[in-house]
Structures are given as C-alpha cells and as structure tokens.
C-alpha cells in the first residue's frame, strides 16, 4: 500500500460494511450466488460454442474513478463490494490507462477508436463531430447496430456536452440529456472553500433514490430484466465520483473522518518537474493550497471515498438485475473508468496531468466461456483497446483504422506476451508513455520526465537527465505519436464544472 500516510488509523472495512442494512447484505449475497452460478454454467461452455449466437454486451462506464477500489488495493479501507465481485468473475486489468486524462477526449478516443493526436480532440470544450477525422466516423455503438444489435444507453457515456444522439437507438433520460439531475444542497459551498464552484463536497440529507445515478441504474436494471428480441448493447454511465461530491449521508457514515488515510505527499515533489508539468499541477485554482488552508484534506478524501461507494452500489444494482434476470448467461460485461484522479499527490487535485494518478483507470472484462474467473492481468493496456476488443469478442465484422489493439489474447491468457506501451495525451503536443516498468513524459517544448516505476511507484524522482537512462528514454520515445493533429475548433459556450 505504498503512497499512503499512516498518521490516521485505517478504517476496518468489515466494521464499516456492517453499517449497511443486514437485509440488503443478505439479499445481495443471495443474488450474487445465483448470478455466480449462471456465470459459472456459461463459463463451462467452450468459447466457440458460447459464441454461436451473438451475445449481449453490458458496457458500464464510471466517471473520474481512479484505482481506489478494493480489488486494485488503491486505498486502505475503501468499500467496493460490487466492483470487487465483478472483478472476481473475469479479468481485472491492473495497469490500464486512458488516452487522455480529461472526460471528453478520453471518451471520444475510446468510443471512436482514435487517439487525441489523430482526432484533434484534446479538451472538454471540443465537439468530437467537428473533427475532420470523426465527423462521419462510426462509433462503437454504431458498429454494433450495423451488426444487428439494439443499441441503448443511459447516463454518462460521452461527455455530457456532446452526447452524439446518432449513436443510439434509445437513450435515458433522452438523446440530448445524459442523466437526471442530482439534488442540490443549500448553503454551498459545503466544504467552506470560497469560490469553489463544482470543487465542493459534503453529505446531503436526500435519499439515494433522488440521485441521478440511482435513476440511471434503475433504467438499466429494467432493461436487463427483459427478454431481448435482438442482441443487446446496453451502455450504463455512472456519473459519480465526478465532482461535486454531494452524496447521501449514509455513505459518509461508512468513513469516519478520524480514520481517514491521506495520500503520502512529498512537499518538494515538483522541484524536478519541467515548467509545463508544474503549470498542470499548480493551476490557477490552486486547489491543494486552498484545501490545506481550509483544512479540508481529510474531508475531501472522505467525500471521494463516499462517492466511490455510492457509485459501487449503483453498479451492484445493475449487476443484480443482470444476474437475476433472463440474460445472465448470454451477456458479456466491460466496465471501465475514463481516467484517474489526484487527491493531493503531486500537490494536485482533479485529473489533467500526465502522471500515474491521472492516467491509470479501472478496466475489467467478464466474458463467460472465455475469461477465467478471478484472473488478473498486469500487462499495460489502453482504453483505446476496448473498441477492437469488444468487436472481436462479439464476433462482429472488423472495423478498419482503429488505433487500439484487441485484448483477446490477454483475455484468454492474462500472462501472454504483450510488448505494447500505453500513450496518454493531455492538450496538444504533451504525451506520456507507460510500459511495464517506466513512465516517460515529453511536453510540447521538448522538456521531459522519466520515472522508474519499479523503484519509484510514487513518481517522485525525475531521472530523465541521467546518462545511464538515455537508452530507456529512447526506447519509450518510439511509442510517441508521430504527429499531433490541429486542435478541433472549440465550443465557446461554457458550463460550471466542465473543468472539474
């Protein structure tokens, strides 16, 4: 559990979980057992036999979720029983990375199969259909529809400003609105930091049922409970733990404030970082400085954890519906988060950097008849790999021009040889290359960072200038994009929280 301060006592997850109603735990355990049996029976079939008919795909996205889930050991005491049980049923990728540490370009890259450096979509204010490369492109869900699927979605799949209605047969709550609104508390900011806008957190008295994500999970559960006339592609987007962290009180009660464990932070961590990297970390908002000034670090970590456990509960409700319904044995599951999140590491909050905290995300795939339950894959992979992976997994016609690679060899054998690095881009000309042992960053002005992650998992020591590391650096640089597409014209309209 490197990278966390021990000045606070680690919460007892069993004790905290006991705050959940026992009836809910018993009901979920029973349903999970039934679902496990369905998945186990499906898993006994050969891959070829189980794919004779087109299989459904449940496609779950979670916003702003880093590796703070139980199965990834990202934070001590975090409560994520549903993500953990899904991980036990398929392959958990322990080193998955986004194509961009920002919602819009990350999701655009995944759903079109094109890098930001190819499309020119680098930030949240760039409509993806304005890209010359993407204006007539076939998205992932459109490709499934072309192959005979009913494609439906709800919640946040694309960035909320650009939902791409043409990609869906049906959408909840509508093709132009990604989710129902959340209740808004009185007396904002709840964290007491002036001028925070969306950078705010705290418990709210509202019921869980009043939350937008709960309603999206309700919709997905209802669809999964139906017998399907056609093969189904169902995308379910969970908004939390995106800011603001206004979460029902019961989730805060699971994380007593005096037992919160803070990330371990090095006060001089940015001293060996080039100026562009420092600007990414220390933004105009000066988040970390203000969090410390108003003594909100423990509260912020607690709120993020509460938001994660709330999101996990909604995932659990969707999984329960699948496992207890008519489609359990005929449905593959892909669950991913769009990028990571900082909570003080590198003196930074939010995403928007090229370090591990921003680029690493959650990815797990359950394909009964192919994946072995409880598998872990430590190979370095990219969210760009999802489009070609599910295309091959579902037996669809290949889509030309995708820039990711199918993960099917790793689904069959998580230890298979894999000599590919993951590339993350933040704004034009700034890239990170991550392989099994290193992270290399090159900014648009040519300045660099290099980290030996085997010895330095917190990325505290930049070794880019060391003579003995030049061969390593040159090898990693071979994975950098050969060119950077011009920026897609920006949308001049703005929204509160768009940079959150």
Q: What is the CATH number of the domain that holds 338?
A: 3.40.720.10
**Is residue 410 a part of any domain in this protein?**
no
Judging by DSSP bridges, how do beta strands 431-434 and 438-442 pair with one another?
Answer: antiparallel
**Which of 159, 242, 348, 431 is labelled catalytic?**
159
**Which of 103, 236, 366, 377 is labelled catalytic?**
103
**Is residue 467 a part of any domain in this protein?**
no
Separation CA 89–CA 374 (nearest Å): 6
pLDDT tens for the chain, residues 1 to 500: 445 554 433 333 333 343 444 434 444 444 444 444 444 444 334 444 455 579 999 999 999 999 999 999 999 999 999 999 999 999 999 999 999 999 999 999 999 999 999 999 999 999 999 999 999 999 999 999 999 999 999 999 999 999 999 999 999 999 999 999 999 999 999 999 999 899 999 999 999 999 999 999 999 999 999 999 999 999 999 999 999 999 999 999 999 999 999 999 999 999 999 999 999 999 988 999 999 999 999 999 999 999 999 999 999 999 999 999 999 999 999 999 999 999 999 999 999 999 999 999 999 999 999 999 999 999 999 999 999 999 999 999 999 999 999 999 999 999 999 999 999 999 999 999 999 999 999 999 999 999 999 999 999 999 999 999 999 999 999 999 999 999 999 997 644 344 55
**Is residue 324 a part of any domain in this protein?**
yes
Question: Smallest Cα–Cα separation from 337: which of 67, 1, 128, 73?
Answer: 67
Q: What is the sign of the dihedral through the CA atoms of 386, 388, 392 and 396?
A: positive
**Is residue 425 a part of any domain in this protein?**
no
Let me know if 348 is a catalytic residue. Answer: no
**Is residue 168 a part of any domain in this protein?**
yes
pTM (two decimals): 0.91
Cis before 241? omega within 30: yes
**Is residue 437 a part of any domain in this protein?**
no
**Is residue 482 a part of any domain in this protein?**
no
**b (16+ CB within 10 A) / e for 125-162:** bbbbebbebbeebbbbbbbbbebebbbbbbbbbbbbbb
**Is residue 435 a part of any domain in this protein?**
no
Let me know if 236 is a catalytic residue. Answer: no
- Residue 226: domain span: 13-400
Based on the structure, what is the number of domains in the chain?
1
Separation CA 205–CA 6 (nearest Å): 31
């Amino acid at each position: 559990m490197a990278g966390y301060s021990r000045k606070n006592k680690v919460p007892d997850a069993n004790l905290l979980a006991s705050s959940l109603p026992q009836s809910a735990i018993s009901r979920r355990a029973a349903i999970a057992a039934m679902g496990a049996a369905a998945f186990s029976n499906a898993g006994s079939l050969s891959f070829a036999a189980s794919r004779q008919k087109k299989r459904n795909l449940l496609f779950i996205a979670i916003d702003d979720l880093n590796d703070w889930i139980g199965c990834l050991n990202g934070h001590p005491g975090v409560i994520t029983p549903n993500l953990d049980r899904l991980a036990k049923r398929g392959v958990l990728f322990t080193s998955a990375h986004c194509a961009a540490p920002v919602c819009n370009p990350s999701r655009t890259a995944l759903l079109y199969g094109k890098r930001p450096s190819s499309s020119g979509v680098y930030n949240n204010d760039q409509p993806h259909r304005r890209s010359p490369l993407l204006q007539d492109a076939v998205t992932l869900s459109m490709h499934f529809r072309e192959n005979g699927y009913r494609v439906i979605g709800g919640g946040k799949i694309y960035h909320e400003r650009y939902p791409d209605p043409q990609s869906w047969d049906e959408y909840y709550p509508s093709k132009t609105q990604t989710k129902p609104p959340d209740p808004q508390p009185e007396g904002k900011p709840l964290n007491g930091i002036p001028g925070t806008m969306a950078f705010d957190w705290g418990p709210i008295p509202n019921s869980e049922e009043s939350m937008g994500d709960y309603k999206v999970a309700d919709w997905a559960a209802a669809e999964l409970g139906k017998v399907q006339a056609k093969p189904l592609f169902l995308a379910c987007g969970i908004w939390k733990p995106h800011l603001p962290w206004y979460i029902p009180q019961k989730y805060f009660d699971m994380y007593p404030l005096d037992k919160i464990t803070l990330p371990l932070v090095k006060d001089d961590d940015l001293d060996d970082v080039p100026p562009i990297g420092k600007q990414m970390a220390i933004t105009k908002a000066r988040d970390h400085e203000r969090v410390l000034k108003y003594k909100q670090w423990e509260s912020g970590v607690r709120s993020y954890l509460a938001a994660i456990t709330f999101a996990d509960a909604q995932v659990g409700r969707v999984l329960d519906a699948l496992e207890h319904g008519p489609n359990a044995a005929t449905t593959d599951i892909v669950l991913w988060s769009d990028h990571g999140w900082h909570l003080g590491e590198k003196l930074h909050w939010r995403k928007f950097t090229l370090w591990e905290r921003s680029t690493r995300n959650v990815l797990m795939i359950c394909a009964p008849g192919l994946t072995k339950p409880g598998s872990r894959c430590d190979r370095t992979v990219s969210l760009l790999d999802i489009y070609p992976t599910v295309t091959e997994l579902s037996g669809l016609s290949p889509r030309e021009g995708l820039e990711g690679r199918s993960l099917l060899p790793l689904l069959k054998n998580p230890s298979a040889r894999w000599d590919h690095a993951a590339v993350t881009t933040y704004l034009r000309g700034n890239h990170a290359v991550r392989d099994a042992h290193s992270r290399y960053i090159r900014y648009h002005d040519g300045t660099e960072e290099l980290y030996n992650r085997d010895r330095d998992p917190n990325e505290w020591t930049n070794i880019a200038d060391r003579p003995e590391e030049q061969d390593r650096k040159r090898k990693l640089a071979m994975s950098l994009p050969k060119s950077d597409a011009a920026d897609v014209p920006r949308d001049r309209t703005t929204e509160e929280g768009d940079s959150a």
